[in-house]
Amino acid sequence: MTGRARIAVGLWIAILVVGVGILSQVKLTTDMTALLPETADPLQRLVVAQLRDGVVARLMLVGFEGASPEVLAEASRGMAHRLRSNGLFNSVQNGDLAAASAEVETLMRYRYLLSPAITKEHFTAASLHASLQDQLRMLGSSAGAITKTFLAADPTAEVSRVMAAVAPEETPNLLHGVWFSRDGNRAQLVAESIGPAFDLDRQEQAVASIRDAFSRAQLPETGRLLLSGPAVFAVEARATIQNDSWRLSLIAGALVTALLYLVYRSVPLVITSLLPVLTGMVVGVATVQLLFGFVHGITLGFGATLIGEAVDYPAYLFTQLAPNERPSDTLRRIWPTLRLAILTTVFGGLSMLLSSFTGLSQLGTLTVVGVFTAGLVTRWVIPALAHAPGTSPLSNAPALDATRWLAGLRRLRTVAWIGIAGAGLFLAFNHDRVWDDDLASLSPISHSAKALDEQLRSELGAPDVRYLVVMRGETRERVLSMSESAEPVLHRLVHDGIISGFDLPSALLPSEATQRRRQALLPEPGPLKASLREAVAGLPFREGTFEPFLRDVEATRVGPLLDLADLKSSALALRLGVSLVFSGNEWSGLVPLRGVTSAPAVAQRLKEEAKDLWFLDLKEETGHVIAGYRREAVKLTAAGVFAIAILLWVGLRQFGLVWRVLLPALSAILLAVTTLGLAGERLTLFHLVSLLLVLGIGLNYALFFNRRTGDADERRRTSLALSVCILATLAAFGTLAFSSTPVLHAIGATVSLGALFSLFLSAVMIEQEALA
């Protein structure tokens, strides 16, 4: 080993040690919203914040069935009690009135500040007399027991009025005192976890505590627990992505290793061939951790694809070994072509690295650093460690010598051009329909799980905030005032049939100004007592019956206002947490709309009647965020292709040769996109990442196809190299195509198709002089 080789190996070992040290501290996340970037647009920033850590993102919807309603109701109370006391939840609601007593007490205490009916005339003798007569009629009705409970303290039925105002339009079915499904076969509850939605370790603890509480409920063997909600999905997604990433990486690694052993018949040579891949993955993932502060599970899974890309470099070296030739001599012979192949892949990855979309930028970083590192290891470390194999790779795997059939593909040139033309026409007429900008398409959650979520959400009345009216202000008071001003506009939308209902934050927490105005309208003790004495005249009420009423009015008149803290841990706080949020340095009011019949009509009316309000379609706005970064990625990709073309010109110095290298790779992308489109698969941002990999792989194939060779044996060795490379690519990416994670499946399927088309077109389009 020469002095230069010793330095190269020493640096390589040092870099590996540092990289492994960083990997031991890596922070892994699988939250899909972590891939979303920070945005300057305030509405988009609000959307991203709610997706990451809004109350809705922390909700867990729970159902359990498989026993009699009586047994399920008792289990519901026991589970709710355990969950409320374990410190992992802000709120646990199951409809149990006994558990909701504190909530009712809060509404009673602040009923005169919450009630929109409070006016100066509300406490006159005539108004009180009419209220008392109504109460007498209610005592004789089916609601008499409830009326009797509140009569002495609330003769104006203020608490009933308030509860009707704040109650959701659709309430869960109540059976045996707790929430049940409409058919009465499933008990249900909703819990809000206490930790941040992006803290998946905390969310996993919360999910585990629900499972533990269910196991302690001692239901019969037929009992079944159903869990749903964004927090549950996030925990399940992490497990799915982690399992897929490691399992598929191991399978791909095993397949590639077996292929290399079949060709080399040398364990040391196989191990040496894997060193660039492993080094590239270690350095690439460590760099992502250093630059971003975390590594996404998708990025880690994507690291498996480096097996199919970076393993090509030593394969080009070892399959090109001539008899009695040292690896260092072979490398010098093929290095100009191999160097260009490495650099074109790096340039393709640069377009991803420059993206402001965090997900693409992470993948670009891994590609650029991983591939470049693998190339450096191939150039400087492999020659120092490798020895020539005892037998020729051609004699070890004669079946992989594809010289004859690759040369025969030139006869299919006409078929290839027809296919390319057809693909171009397909995309010309369908280019708007091939893209999918829905963030949900990237989720590994199954359709059945999503259907269960919709069902539980509907029956529990849990927030499903797709359509929102948004108001923003520097203070909470400003937002609450805007909410109160918006009420007449929204009532007109209901009247006109454009929406069926809405939930204002000011209905649950009026502004301080409104509360003080209502407080000022409450009469002093003397006048109120006189009005009450006159009101009860002729009615069958004993003297002193309404002393609690007089005390409560006075306590409210001189007492504190209702504050957000007074609603803590209640169902009202859960709803208020959805509709009143602090993000960045400002407050926002989010008013969920129900029964939207025409989203454009809502937007237009708000534009005309309430210019300080915004209409937000959360799904559509998320799509706009993704579409914006997709358009940016397309532009960066085009710039990357242009840079690659310049690089090829610098390296090849022949326009015709540059064209013959670029054309098969670009045509392969066209055919791969068309094939996916015809198969009904719509393209996401991560398909775009895959197409950049296809470009790199296709350029590698075309460069070696068009490399001038000295004799027939060298042409056969080149064919063997390409056979090994395509099989390694298919082993790595084909395995990924079977992933249950949509992103990893998209990358695997796209690159596998693209690699096959690239090899086919490179063989088809090769000129006769290159073959000669």
On the question of pLDDT at 224 being above 90, the answer is: yes
Q: What is the pLDDT of residue 279?
A: 94
Give the three-class secondary structure for 226: strand
**What residue type is assigned to position 624 of the chain?**
H
Q: Among the listed ranges 84-98, 118-132, 709-723, which one has the minimum average pLDDT value? A: 709-723
Q: What is the pLDDT of residue 769?
A: 47
Q: What is the pLDDT of residue 208?
A: 94
637-645 contact pairs (CB < 8 A, 24+): 637/351, 637/688, 637/691, 637/692, 639/351, 640/347, 640/348, 640/350, 640/351, 640/692, 641/348, 641/666, 641/695, 643/347, 643/350, 644/344, 644/347, 644/348, 644/695, 644/699
What's the number of CA atoms in the CB half-sphere (13 Å) around residue 116? 12
Which residue's structure tokens are 């509404």? 107
Give the three-class secondary structure for 90: strand
Mean per-residue pLDDT for 53-58? 70
CA distance 602 to 692: 41
Mean per-residue pLDDT for 2-15? 89
Give the three-class secondary structure for 683: strand
Q: What is the pLDDT of residue 420?
A: 95
Length of the chain: 772
Mean per-residue pLDDT for 229-243? 82
- Whether the CB-CB separation of 349 and 736 falls below 8 Å is answered with no
Nearest partner of 270 among 752, 728, 723, judged by Cα: 728
Q: What is the pLDDT of residue 387?
A: 67
Q: What is the pLDDT of residue 48?
A: 65
Over the stretch 521-577, which tens digit does the pLDDT of each residue have? 999 999 999 999 999 998 888 888 999 999 999 999 999 999 988 887 666 777 787
- Whether the CB-CB separation of 391 and 380 falls below 8 Å is answered with no
CATH topology classification for 3-30+234-433+654-770: Multidrug efflux transporter AcrB transmembrane fold (1.20.1640)
Percentage of the chain lying above the pLDDT 90 cut: 34
Q: pLDDT: is 358 or 10 the higher one?
A: 10
Partners of residue 224 on adjacent β-strands: 65
Instruction: Kindly tell me the number of DSSP H helices and DSSP E strands found in the chain.
Output: 34, 13
Q: What is the residue-averaged pLDDT of the chain?
A: 85
Q: What is the pLDDT of residue 430?
A: 86
On the question of pLDDT at 40 being above 60, the answer is: no
Which residue's structure tokens are 């299919």? 412
Over the stretch 469-496, which tens digit does the pLDDT of each residue have? 999 999 999 999 999 999 999 999 999 9
Q: pLDDT: is 307 or 219 the higher one?
A: 219
Q: What is the pLDDT of residue 482?
A: 95
Torsions phi, psi for 208 (to 5 deg): -60, -35
162-167 contact pairs (CB < 8 A, 24+): 162/107, 162/111, 162/114, 162/115, 163/104, 163/107, 165/114, 165/115, 165/116, 165/507, 166/107, 166/114, 166/507, 166/508, 166/572
Nearest partner of 95 among 62, 67, 68, 127, judged by Cα: 62
Query: Residue 232: in which H helix or E strand, if any?
Result: helix 230-264
Give the strand pairing for 28-29 and 295-296. parallel
Q: How far is CA 251 from CA 20, 93, 258, 279, in A?
A: 22, 45, 11, 19
Percentage of the chain lying above the pLDDT 70 cut: 88
Mean per-residue pLDDT for 619-633? 79
On the question of pLDDT at 465 being above 80, the answer is: no
Which residue's structure tokens are 């993000």? 583
Which of 309-318, 415-424, 535-544, 581-590 is predicted most confidently?
Answer: 415-424
**What residue type is assigned to position 65 of the chain?**
E
Query: Which residues have C-beta within 8 Å of that of residue 341, sequence separation ≥ 6?
Result: 312, 313, 316, 699, 700, 703, 704
Mean per-residue pLDDT for 430-435? 81
Nearest partner of 684 among 755, 736, 745, judged by Cα: 745
On the question of pLDDT at 41 being above 80, the answer is: no
Q: What is the pLDDT of residue 515?
A: 95
Partners of residue 64 on adjacent β-strands: 187, 225
Mean per-residue pLDDT for 755-760? 93
On the question of pLDDT at 739 being above 70, the answer is: yes
Q: Residue 391 burial (CB < 10 Å; 0-12/13-18/19+)?
A: exposed
* Cα maximum dimension of the chain: 121
Q: How far is CA 365 from CA 12, 328, 407, in A?
A: 20, 30, 37
pLDDT band, residue 44 (cuts 50/70/90): low
Over the stretch 668-702, which tens digit does the pLDDT of each residue have? 999 999 999 998 888 887 788 788 888 988 998 99
Q: What is the pLDDT of residue 389?
A: 58
On the question of pLDDT at 637 being above 60, the answer is: yes
Domain positions in the chain = 3-30+234-433+654-770
pLDDT band, residue 772 (cuts 50/70/90): very low
CA distance 628 to 633: 9
On the question of pLDDT at 771 being above 50, the answer is: no
Locate 672 and state its tokens.
């791969």
Q: How far is CA 553 from CA 107, 130, 557, 558, in A?
A: 14, 18, 6, 9
Which residue's structure tokens are 């063989």? 763
Give how far the C-alpha of residue 269 lies from the chain's centroid of Cα atoms, to the nearest Å: 42
Over the stretch 328-351, which tens digit does the pLDDT of each residue have? 888 888 999 999 999 998 888 887
Nearest partner of 444 among 305, 298, 299, 300, judged by Cα: 298
**What residue type is assigned to position 271 of the chain?**
I
Over the stretch 491-523, which tens digit does the pLDDT of each residue have? 999 999 999 888 899 988 999 999 999 999 999
DSSP 500: S
Give the three-class secondary structure for 337: helix
On the question of pLDDT at 216 being above 50, the answer is: yes
Over the stretch 248-291, which tens digit does the pLDDT of each residue have? 878 888 898 898 888 888 888 889 988 998 999 999 999 999 99
- Can you give the C-alpha Rg of the chain in angstroms? 34
Q: Residue 596 burial (CB < 10 Å; 0-12/13-18/19+)?
A: middle
